[in-house]
Amino acid sequence: MSALGPLVLAYVLLFLAPFVMFARLSLYKTTGLGTYGHQLTLVNYRELLTTGSDLLLLWHTVELCLVTSVLCCLIGYSVGFYCAYSGRYGSAIFTLCIGLVFTNTVVRALGWVAVLSQDNWIVRLFSLGGSARLTGTFEGVVIATVSAGTPLLVLLIVPVLRAIPEELPQVAHSLGASELYTQWRITWPLSRYGVISGGLLVFASTAAAFTTPSLLGGGRVNVLSLVIQQDVTTYLDYPDAAAAGVVLLVIVALVVAGVSFVVGRRATARRLGVANSPAEVEPAAELSISVTPL
């Protein structure tokens, strides 16, 4: 038990206690710059969940995270599939993704600012002939968050795809199945849970991100995490920040739990026992946020 002692103490003192105190802050009412009354009240939550502008804020947050995860899954699956099944450039691309994940998000966001803030053909391509610049728009933020989340998804999907026994698609081909059919009926069902798990991870990390929406949104794209940051650093409105934090946490938890529940009820792949051996999986893949595929 002494093995666990220090860590338990650390968690209780340095994480749980601050978190509980912070959550309790959300129940106080702001009375001025940096001050708040000490009576318990739900007014912060009521404002956050009923005001029109705040509901729009919540919707923007959820929309950003959803769109990002879906796009990341689409792009990440294609790249991951290539990585897993093609030896030639596959490992080079995998290394590239490792490097991208380890690169600072601020640096990547800055790179996108450099691309999207000028009127050039790349911007024209992305906005399909629309606006002259993509900074300060929702689309610009989506582009940056997708490019930030995709390498992570690739890193999570490749081990899952590699864990599928090679014989299965080969047998399908020898029995006359086309490539598309094999992918749809064999590869996809076996890798589905890894993709969903990765998608949820991207969802959660996009919900937590505020540097990317801040740098690329130019003040016009508002998400919950940005509100928290502004509340604490600029407005000194701690109760509101705390309420926003709790709401953000609840949103992420609900989405993750909801998707896991829906997916878990159709878990037929479980029986096929496609499990990743711990020694081969990237550490991040094991940090499933209450979704353990299989």
Partner 1 sequence: MSAAAKGAGKTPQMGGWHLGLRAVSRGWLVLCLVFLVLPLAFCVIASLQGQIGPFVLPKSYSLAAYGNIPGIFFSAAWTSARLALSASILALVVSLPAALWVGRRTGAGSRVFEALFKSSAQVPSIIIGVSLYSYYVKAQSVIGFGARGTFLGLLIGHFVLVEPYMFTTLTARAATLPADLEEAAQTLGASRWFVLWRVQLPLMLSAVVSALLLCAVLSFDDVAVSLFLIGPGVTTLSVAMYSFAEQSLSPVVFAVGVLTILAVFVVVVPVQRLIDRDRREIGAGSRRARMGA
Buried/exposed code over 117-147 (b: 16+ C-beta within 10 A; e: otherwise): beeeeebeebbeeeeeebbbbbbbbbbbbbb
**Nearer to partner 1 (CB atom), residue 11 or residue 266:** 11
Residue from 137, 145, 197, 211 touching partner 1 (CB under 8 A): that is: 211
Q: Which stretch binds partner 1 (CB under 8 A): 38-46, 191-199, 205-213, 262-270?
A: 205-213
Positions in 4-23 near partner 1 (CB under 8 A) = 4, 6-8, 10-11, 14-19, 21-22
Q: Which stretch binds partner 1 (CB under 8 A): 41-49, 50-58, 188-196, 229-237?
A: 229-237
Q: What is the torsion angle, in degrees rounded to the nearest 10, for the CA atoms of residue 217, residue 97, residue 276 and residue 75?
A: 60
Positions in 103-122 near partner 1 (CB under 8 A) = 103-115, 117-122
**Residues pairing with 35 in the sheet:** 32
State residue 51 phi and psi, 5-degree precision: -65, 140
State residue 242 phi and psi, 5-degree precision: -65, -45
**Nearer to partner 1 (CB atom), residue 41 or residue 95:** 95
**Nearer to partner 1 (CB atom), residue 119 or residue 266:** 119
Q: How far is the CB of 262 from partner 1 (least distance, A)?
A: 20
Closest CA to 205 of 11, 37, 72: 72
Positions in 246-275 near partner 1 (CB under 8 A) = 248-249, 252-253
The identity of residue 280, as a single letter, is: E
**Nearer to partner 1 (CB atom), residue 170 or residue 266:** 170
Helices (H), the chain: 5-11, 17-25, 43-50, 52-85, 87-102, 105-116, 121-126, 138-163, 167-174, 179-182, 188-208, 211-217, 224-230, 238-264, 283-286
Q: Which stretch binds partner 1 (CB under 8 A): 40-48, 49-57, 144-152, 265-273?
A: 144-152
Q: How far is the CB of 265 from partner 1 (least distance, A)?
A: 22
SS3 164: coil
Is 175 an interacting residue with respect to partner 1 (CB under 8 A)? no
Residues, the chain, total? Answer: 294
Who's near 54: CB < 8 A, 6+ residues apart?
47, 48
Is 215 an interacting residue with respect to partner 1 (CB under 8 A)? yes
Is 208 an interacting residue with respect to partner 1 (CB under 8 A)? yes
Site string for partner 1, 36-65 (x = CB under 8 A): ------------------------------
Q: How far is the CB of 11 from partner 1 (least distance, A)?
A: 6
The identity of residue 265, as a single letter, is: R
Q: How far is the CB of 73 from partner 1 (least distance, A)?
A: 12
Positions in 63-102 near partner 1 (CB under 8 A) = 75, 78-79, 81-82, 85-87, 93, 95-100, 102
